[in-house]
Chains A and B, each alone.
Chain A
Amino acid sequence: MRVAALARTLALTLCCAAAMAAPPPAATPAATAPAAAAHYTLDAAHSSLEFTFLQAGARNTGRFPRFTVALDCQGADPLRLEVTVDVAALDTGDKDRDDTLRSDDLFAVKKFPQATFSATHITRTAGGYDAVGGLTIRGVMRETHVPFTFRAANEGGATVGYMTGKTVVRRLDFGVGQGDWQATDQVADEVTVAFKLRLTAAH
């Protein structure tokens, strides 16, 4: 009798433990399948890529209006990120300054029309994700961390993704600043690059 009671208790405990260890019941049938892969591209009209720099001690902001993004996700998690920026399209709101930035001593856009970021490794962090990959500007590639947040949403039946983040790059690491422009007293070495993206999914 006592053995039987013990056996029953043991069986019940094992059942509970098994139930707790099992994944929670799926909300939709689709999620029961292996996490779906999603491929996102940029909704350029609702996205921005900006850079903030210190010029003569004052903060100035410019933007790259033309760029493309390719983001692959496995389930909810970003796996791979590719960004290509049309550097010549840069816009700081001042034509003279923009022309200077395009010149050979700075971005040298004739020779290096594109800047790219290719994340080979994306990990989860407390606040979101951290993409590590090669950032190439002016033909120089440097390993760069880009922390970001990512959130997928369903808008009218379409899957969209919202991605925000920023990173600090040192322009001189990439040779953006030759000759006189190597000096950092008027234009600081550190440039903050920030992005707010809306992405649309194509399965």
Chain B
Amino acid sequence: MTLRNTTRRWGAIAQLFHWLIVALILVQLWLALRADELTGMGKLRELARHKSVGITILMLVILRLLWRSRNPHPPLPDNLKPYERSLARFTHGALYTLLFAIPLSGWTMSSARGFPVSWFGFLQLPDLVPKNHTLYEWLVMTHVTLVCVLAVIVALHVAGALKHHFVHKDDVLRRMLPFTRT
């Protein structure tokens, strides 16, 4: 497997971005659910981690799009129906949009609450909006809603990948998997 993409499969860097972000999203869910159960210092600690990992995802998505813009994309198989192509384009667009919107809504939500965000204690990020409790409550709802939308889009994305593999029997899934041949 090469570092860069080829016309047949995703390179190591693109795969690393993909799977690292998948793993970090799972970590985020776990941290958010834990923070919800805890109070006091424990809650503070989990939320600080959640914010740091969220900012990490945001940075990775920016790097990932830069990398994507400088690499060829392995094309979709020719035998796809137009609606399948549109659906694939829509889900990928939605995934990238959500990967920006969710961390940004979280960051803005912290600013509106008046709790500045720090990246693992190394770097304090600027507040995106002034303190505003009404805006904060609206952003909490937005953040959670966007995560629910992400869950639906991810379900479509996974269903699509599995359909390619088991129904179309093409290499669309395999070319994003490390340690497989295409």
Contact = CB atoms under 8 A, between A and B. Distances in A.
A60 B124 contact: no
Interface of A: 55-60, 92-94, 100, 105, 180-181, 183, 185-187
B40 A57 contact: no
B40 A56 contact: no
Nearest to B120: A57
B42 interface: yes
The residue among A58, A59, A93, A185 with the most chain B CB atoms within 10 A of its own CB is A58
A45 to B, nearest CB: 23
Given A181-B40, A186-B41, A57 B114 contact: no
Contacts of B114: 60, 92-94
A51 to B, nearest CB: 15
Interface in B97-140: 113-122, 124, 131
Interface string B82-102: 000000000000000000000
A55 B45 contact: no
Contacts of A92: 114
26 contacts: A55-B115, A56-B47, A56-B48, A56-B115, A57-B118, A57-B120, A57-B121, A57-B124, A58-B118, A60-B115, A60-B116, A92-B114, A93-B114, A93-B131, A94-B114, A94-B115, A100-B40, A105-B40, A180-B40, A181-B40, A183-B41, A185-B45, A186-B44, A186-B45, A186-B48, A187-B44
Contacts of A186: 41, 44-45, 48
A43 to B, nearest CB: 27
Contacts of A105: 40
A94 B116 contact: no
Contact of A56 (B44, B113, B131): B44
Q: Which of A57, A100, A180 is the most central at the interface, judged by chain B CB atoms within 10 Å of its CB?
A: A57
